[in-house]
């Protein structure tokens, strides 16, 4: 069902002191593709610097730039309007890379043994859904106990993590169970922080599934980036000269338009 969403996304980094030669790569602009149309969007950077636009190998939009002068903060704010209509999706080929483990989604012996105990259906869509429910039952949402370097195996062993960990665990097991699946970074309807979920390739279509919230995705989910795991599509990456300490503040809001 068609839905228009207004989105606002704001990330502020504060450094431990002045930094220089700060090179950054952002994936903070959602792309247009069948099923998701970006009607308008703006990106504001602080400090204000020019940036180039490119696409990576997964089709994600990149914003690439550098802040040469000393600065103690870096902030980027995105806002715009998107039209979501999943009935407009088209069939897509599936690259084989989404069928195999990545650095963060390798299966360990404990995961392998657990997977063998699950009553997974033969039908791919039913298998994808059953697996999402099993992952949700195994994992406990626990902010602050994992980080961006936490692997699927580590999160599975503790049974605790955040949406990124739920997605990594799901991807590892789904691929091992014969499904093609990919990581998705984006914003769901509501307020808070960015979110991670998965997409499974079913009958030629990429279909979203959210193991953290135990649901198939719909027009309330705005996609920013996709990849094999988190490291293929982070919202922001950068290198700089200066103190390594930094704090991050994140806020997002996605609301439905009448």
The pair of three-digit structure tokens given for residue 221, joined into one six-digit string: 């989910």
> What local confidence, expressed as pLDDT, does residue 15 receive?
96
Identify the band that residue 94 occupies on the pLDDT scale cut at 50, 70 and 90.
very high
Confidence check: pLDDT of 258 > 80: no
* Per-residue pLDDT tens digits for 135-178: 999 999 999 999 989 999 999 999 999 999 999 999 999 999 99
Average the pLDDT over 220-241 and give the result.
96
Confidence check: pLDDT of 108 > 90: yes
How far is residue 101's CA from residue 239's CA, in Å, rounded to a whole number? 27
How far is residue 156's CA from residue 149's CA, in Å, rounded to a whole number? 14
Q: What is this structure's pTM?
A: 0.96
Closest of 158, 166, 164, 146 to residue 211, by C-alpha:
166
* Per-residue pLDDT tens digits for 49-64: 999 999 999 999 999 9
> What local confidence, expressed as pLDDT, does residue 161 receive?
97
> What local confidence, expressed as pLDDT, does residue 1 receive?
82
> What local confidence, expressed as pLDDT, does residue 256 receive?
94
Average the pLDDT over 7-23 and give the result.
96
Confidence check: pLDDT of 257 > 90: no
How far is residue 59's CA from residue 226's CA, in Å, rounded to a whole number? 8
Q: Which helix (H) or strand (E) holds 134?
A: helix 124-138
Confidence check: pLDDT of 233 > 90: yes
* Cis ω for the linkage preceding 116 (within 30 of 0): no
> What local confidence, expressed as pLDDT, does residue 83 receive?
98
DSSP per position, 194-240: -EEEEEEEETTEEEEEETTTTEE--TTEEEEEEESSGGGS-SEEEEE
């Amino acid at each position: 069902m068609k839905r228009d969403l207004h989105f606002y996304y704001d990330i502020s980094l504060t450094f431990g002191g002045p930094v220089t030669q700060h090179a950054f790569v952002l994936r903070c602009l959602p792309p247009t593709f069948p099923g998701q149309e970006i009607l308008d969007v703006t990106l504001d950077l602080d400090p204000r610097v020019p940036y180039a636009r490119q696409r990576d190998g997964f089709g994600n939009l990149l914003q690439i730039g550098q802040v040469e002068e000393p600065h103690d903060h870096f902030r980027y704010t995105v806002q715009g309007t998107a039209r979501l209509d999943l009935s407009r999706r088209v069939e897509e080929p599936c690259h084989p890379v989404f069928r195999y483990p990545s650095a963060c989604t390798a299966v360990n012996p404990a995961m392998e043994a657990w997977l063998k105990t699950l009553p997974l259906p033969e039908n791919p869509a039913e298998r994808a859904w059953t697996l999402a429910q099993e992952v949700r039952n195994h994992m406990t949402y626990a902010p602050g106990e994992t980080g961006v370097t936490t692997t699927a195996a580590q999160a599975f062993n503790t049974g605790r993590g955040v949406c990124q960990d739920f997605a990594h665990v799901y991807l590892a097991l789904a691929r091992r169970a014969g499904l093609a699946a990919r990581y998705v970074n984006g914003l769901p309807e509501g307020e808070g922080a960015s979110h991670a979920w998965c997409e499974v390739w079913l009958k030629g279509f990429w279909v979203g599934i959210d193991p953290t919230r135990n649901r198939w995705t719909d027009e309330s989910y705005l996609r920013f980036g996709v990849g094999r795991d988190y490291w293929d599509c982070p919202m922001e990456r950068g290198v700089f000269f200066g103190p390594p300490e930094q704090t991050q503040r994140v806020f997002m809001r996605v609301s439905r338009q009448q």
